């Protein structure tokens, strides 16, 4: 907020600074996207627009397979993590020991990714061994391969990693929600589920959708932990990094980075634009509905 006596140059300076920060943060990303459309790649003197690098990426079976696997992981992580985070946020609101609850929920964030990944790796190896032992004791093979490294173990690691973020994002929007509205819905005859779905959810959905976007992006972003728990370096991020390390930045690498950047920016940008447009629409509607004040 600025008061009426603020120096206009101070205001301009603040906005310029903000713009500079945003430009500094995003220009490398935009530059990579820009390069990814150049037929001659990075540091070429000529710029000729092309989709060829994207075509190459999408026709590369290893890349498409790693992309599909990561998309599958992201979708499953969203499907599992978001309801869990939502439940956690609801429990938090009812909880009497809020500080302890938040500390518990956020604790995975305080463990470095490599440590968490390797700890889970050891844990799953031991768990797998324990189940194999159980199978042999029982003379069955019911638990065979349950916790062998693969999709399930990578998913569990991803859930542990993304749950705190999703919890916080949902909690922020949920903090504005008054529980009396749920009670009012119940008093009108709604079941607990109807009260949640028809009254509470519409008011927290921005947070829920933001969390979905966040978990998706984190799933693409995560490299080390997923690689350790998947048992192979063939996730999309890992393939991208491996390519860069082995053959340097090729046109394909730029196109892959471009895909990730465009998806991330589109998702986050859409949420921001939707939120701003919705707020503006509501405000305009409120202005239109307001009674005029006439002079006397």
Partner 1 sequence: MRNSSDTAVEVVDLGKNYGTVKALNAVSFTIDSGQYYALLGPSGGGKTTLLRLIGGFIQPTAGQVLLHGEDVSHLPPNKRPTSMVFQSYALFPHMNVERNVAYGLKLRKVPANEMRDKVDWMLSMVGLDGYNERMPHELSGGQQQRVQLARSLVLDADILLLDEPLAALDAKLRKDMCLELKRIQEKVGITFIHVTHNQEEALTVADRIAIIADGDLIEQGTARDIYETPRKRFTAGFIGDNNVLGGIVAGVSGERVTVDLDFAKVDIAAPGTTAAAGDQVSFSVRSELLRMVDPGQTADGAWQSVPATYLETIYLGLTTSHLVRLPDGSEVAARFVSSEDDIGSFETGQAVTIGWPSGRARLHVS
- CA-to-CA distance for 213 and 223, rounded, in angstroms? 18
Which of 12, 285 has the CB closer to partner 1?
Answer: 285
Closer residue to partner 1 (CB): 14 or 178: 178
Q: Which is nearer to partner 1, 199 or 227 (CB)?
A: 199
Minimum distance from residue 181 beta carbon to partner 1 (Å): 6
Write down the residue that tokens 């634009």 correspond to: 273
Q: C-beta of 52: minimal distance to partner 1 in Å?
A: 47
Q: Which is nearer to partner 1, 109 or 184 (CB)?
A: 184
Q: Which residues bind partner 1 (CB under 8 A)?
A: 178, 180-181, 183-192, 194, 198-199, 202-203, 282, 285-286, 289-290
* 105 close to 88: Cβ distance less than 8 angstroms: yes
**Burial (CB count within 10 angstroms: exposed 0-12, middle 13-18, buried 19+), residue 81:** buried
Considering the complex, what minimum distance in angstroms separates the CB of residue 194 from partner 1?
7
Cα gap 158→215, rounded to integer Å: 9
**Min separation Cβ 83 and partner 1, Å:** 21
Q: Phi/psi zone of residue 189: left (φ > 0), alpha (ψ -120 to 50 degrees), beta? A: left
**From the CB of 198, what's the least distance to partner 1, in Å?**
8
Q: 43 vs 180, which CB is nearer to partner 1?
A: 180
> Judged by CB, which is closer to partner 1: 40, or 278?
278
The rounded distance, in Å, linking the Cα atoms of 295 and 47 is 64
Q: How far is the CB of 288 from partner 1 (least distance, A)?
A: 10
Q: What is the torsion angle, in degrees rounded to the nearest 10, for the CA atoms of residue 227, residue 230, residue 233 and residue 239?
A: -90
Residues whose CB is less than 8 angstroms from the CB of residue 33 and which lie 6 or more positions away in sequence, other chains included: 257, 258, 261, 262
Least separation in angstroms between residue 200's CB and partner 1 is 10
3 state SS of 49: strand
Task: Please enumerate, as own/partner, the contacts of 260-269 that have beta carbons within 8 Å and a separation of 24 or more.
Answer: 260/220, 260/236, 261/29, 261/32, 261/33, 262/33, 263/217, 263/220, 264/217, 264/220, 265/29, 267/213, 267/216, 267/217, 268/213, 268/217
Give me the least distance between CB of 271 and partner 1, in Å please.
18
134 vs 282, beta carbon nearer partner 1: 282
Q: Which residue, 144 or 283, has its beta carbon nearer to partner 1?
A: 283
């Amino acid at each position: 907020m600025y008061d009426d006596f603020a120096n206009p140059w101070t205001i301009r300076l603040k906005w310029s600074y903000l713009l500079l920060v945003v430009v500094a943060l995003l220009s490398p990303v935009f530059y990579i996207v820009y390069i990814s459309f150049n037929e001659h790649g990075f540091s070429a003197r000529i710029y000729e627009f092309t989709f060829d690098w994207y075509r190459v990426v999408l026709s590369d079976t290893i890349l498409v397979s790693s992309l599909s696997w990561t998309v599958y992981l992201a979708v499953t992580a969203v499907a599992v993590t978001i309801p869990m985070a939502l439940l956690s946020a609801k429990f938090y609101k009812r909880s009497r020991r809020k500080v302890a609850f938040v500390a518990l929920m956020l604790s995975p964030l305080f463990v470095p990714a490599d440590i968490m990944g390797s700890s889970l790796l050891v844990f799953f190896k031991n768990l797998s061994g324990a189940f194999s032992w159980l199978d042999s004791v029982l003379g069955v093979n019911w638990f065979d391969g349950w916790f062998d490294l693969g999709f399930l173990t990578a998913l569990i690691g991803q859930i542990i990693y993304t749950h705190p973020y999703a919890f916080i994002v949902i909690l922020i929007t949920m903090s504005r929600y008054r529980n009396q509205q749920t009670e009012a819905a119940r008093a009108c005859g709604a079941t607990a589920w109807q009260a949640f779905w028809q009254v509470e959810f519409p008011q927290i959905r921005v947070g829920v959708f933001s969390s979905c976007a966040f978990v998706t992006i984190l799933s693409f972003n995560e490299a080390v932990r997923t690689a350790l728990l998947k048992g192979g370096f063939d996730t999309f991020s890992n393939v991208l990094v491996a390519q860069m390390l082995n053959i340097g930045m090729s046109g394909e690498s730029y196109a892959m980075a471009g895909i990730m950047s465009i998806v991330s920016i589109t998702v986050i940008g859409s949420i921001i634009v939707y939120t701003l447009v919705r707020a503006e629409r509501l405000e305009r509607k409120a202005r239109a509905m307001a009674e005029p004040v006439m002079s006397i």
